[in-house]
Amino acid sequence: MNKAKQPFVILCIIFLMSTLLLACGNNSNGQGSNAAANTAASNAAATTAPAAEAEATAEPAATTRSYTDYKGHTVEIPVNPERIIYSGETYGDLIALGVQAVGYPLSMGEGQVFEDKLAGVEDVGFPINLEKTLELQPDLIIYAGTDEADFEALSKIAPTIIFNTFAPLDERMTEIGGILNKSAEAEAWLAQYQTKEQEMWTQLKTAGMKDGETAAVFTYYPGDRLFVMATTGLSQVLYGENGFKPTPAIQAVLDQDMGFQEISMEVIQEYAGDRIFLLTPVADEAKKSTEKLLQSAVWKSLPAVKNGHVYTQDIMKTSSDATTREWLLGEIPVMLNK
């Protein structure tokens, strides 16, 4: 090779080697980046795969649950019932929890404290009408009756439970709250009711009510039948822990867990207390019997009558339901101050 050309050749070789080294370096970096990306992708896949698998295999939220009513029937009921038919005396319990039924015997609500809250509720009749009940397509039927034939017939339409509407208020509200998935609301309602009840008795004692005072509640039914009330209606409020006391004769009825007891006018003095609450009946015949009682010598001889401690109230506004019970906490002081 010509010596003059050797330097040029050497420069070319150096240039070619530099180019090759640069290319190799770039290729090496590219392979590193790809490897890192592949590793990150693999890690991400490893992380998300179990989560996706768990989500795919997770059990769907239950829509029904098993419930055993106080008569021993075990029924699958909705976790969140939306179309409820309620056939019983204490519809005001539902109203207190912010629940409206699609069906209810509207005749039971006539004259009640909560009557104006029944707009939009369909009448299922009393006794309950099976055709109307079917038409409303309920997802839960709450029934206060105890007839097994009725229970079987209703159960063919929708899940049906028999509910004890004569249970004490706190037990009843706790139970119905659980049935309707409103346990928190029931607990809150009971807490505020107990506060209001205590405030009422404090107010009455400040106004002159004495510790140990007795009270009795009477009403007439058609057929000239006189009853003393015990574990139902107004008596449930009056015989609270801080309230009036029952007379011994009434306590005997309470001990038998009876809602009321029929008595004769001749023995009314055995039941009458320091204060008497007389419930105005609905039927005309019962109203006439009440007037007859008020004119009798037996009635006029009672200490409560002589002392002016007799109070009247519409019987339809002394029901046992939660809405009425809360209303009565404001009404009793008004009655006593008349």
In a structure prediction context, what are the per-residue pLDDT tens digits for the chain, which is 338 residues long?
Answer: 444 444 443 444 443 344 444 344 444 444 444 444 455 445 555 555 555 555 556 667 899 999 999 999 999 999 999 999 999 999 999 999 999 999 999 999 999 999 999 999 999 999 999 999 999 999 999 999 889 999 999 999 999 999 999 899 999 999 999 999 999 999 999 999 999 999 999 999 998 899 999 999 999 999 999 999 999 999 999 998 899 999 999 999 999 999 999 999 999 999 999 999 999 999 999 999 999 999 999 999 999 999 999 999 999 999 999 999 999 999 999 999 87
Q: b/e map of 157-195 (b: 16 or more CB within 10 Å)?
A: bbbbbbbbbebebeebbebbbebbebbebbeebbeebee
pTM for this model (two decimals): 0.81
| Spatial separation of the C-alpha atoms in residues 144 and 225, rounded to whole Å | 25
The pLDDT of residue 60 is: 76
Torsion of CA 178, 91, 195, 179, to 10 degrees: 0
- Concatenated DSSP letters of 115-148: GGG-TTPEE-TTTTPHHHHHHT--SEEEE----H
The span from the CA of 197 to the CA of 205, in Å, is 13
Q: Does domain 64-187 have CATH number 3.30.360.10?
A: no
Contact 306, 338 (CB under 8 A): no
Cα–Cα separations (whole angstroms), residue 213 to 72, 114, 185, 280, 299: 41, 31, 34, 23, 19
Tokens for 24, please give them. Answer: 């190799």
Q: How far apart are CA 197 and CA 183, in angstroms?
A: 21
CB atoms within 10 A of CB 249: 18
Which of 157, 153, 118 shows the shortest CA–CA distance to 140?
157
Tokens of 82: 């939306």
- Please state, in angstroms and rounded to a whole number, the distance separating the CA atoms of residues 245 and 209: 12
Torsion, CA 196, CA 201, CA 206, CA 209, rounded to 10? 160
Whether 227 and 267 have beta carbons less than 8 Å apart is answered as: no
Q: What phi and psi, each to the nearest 5 degrees, are found at residue 256?
A: -90, 5
CA distance 226 to 261: 9
CA angle 24, 26, 28 (to 5 degrees): 70
For residue 1, the model assigns a pLDDT of: 46
Domain regions of the chain by residue span:
64-187, 209-336
Q: pLDDT at position 25, please?
A: 45
Q: Please, are residues 136 and 121 in contact by the beta-carbon 8 Å criterion?
A: no
- Hey, do 64-187 and 209-336 end up sharing a CATH topology, with the first three levels equal? yes
Q: The domain at 209-336 falls in which architecture?
A: 3-Layer(aba) Sandwich (3.40)
The per-type count for the chain, helices as H runs and strands as E runs, is 14, 12
Can you give the pLDDT at residue 293?
96
Between CA 105 and CA 224, with CA 327 as vertex, the angle to 5 degrees is 60
Specify the amino acid at residue 186: A
The Cα–Cα gap between 21 and 336 comes to 108
